[in-house]
Amino acid sequence: MGLARDGVTVDERLTGGADETEKLLHDPKFGVDVAFMHGGVVRPAERGNLVMLMTLYYEPLWIFYRAPATMTQLEELRYKRVAVGSPGSGVRAFAKPLLAANNITGFNTKLLSLVNLEGLHALPIEPWLADLDRIEQAAARIRTPASFASEAYTLREHIDLVSRTVLAKASGR
Q: Per residue in 108-138, pLDDT tens?
A: 999 888 766 666 666 666 666 667 777 777 7
What are the extents of the domains in the chain? 2-46, 124-173
What span, in angstroms and rounded, lies between the C-alpha atoms of 167 and 40? 35
Sequence-distant (≥ 6) Cβ neighbours of residue 153 within 8 angstroms: none
pLDDT band at residue 42, thresholds of 50, 70 and 90? Answer: confident
**What single-letter DSSP state applies at residue 83?**
E
Full-model pTM: 0.56
Is residue 66 within 8 A of residue 132, CB to CB? The reply is: no
Residue 111 backbone dihedrals phi, psi, to 5 degrees: -90, 115
pLDDT at 50: 78
- Is residue 40 exposed (0-12), middle (13-18) or buried (19+ Cβ within 10 Å)? middle
What separation in angstroms does the CA of 63 have from each of 20, 84, 99, 137? 25, 11, 12, 18
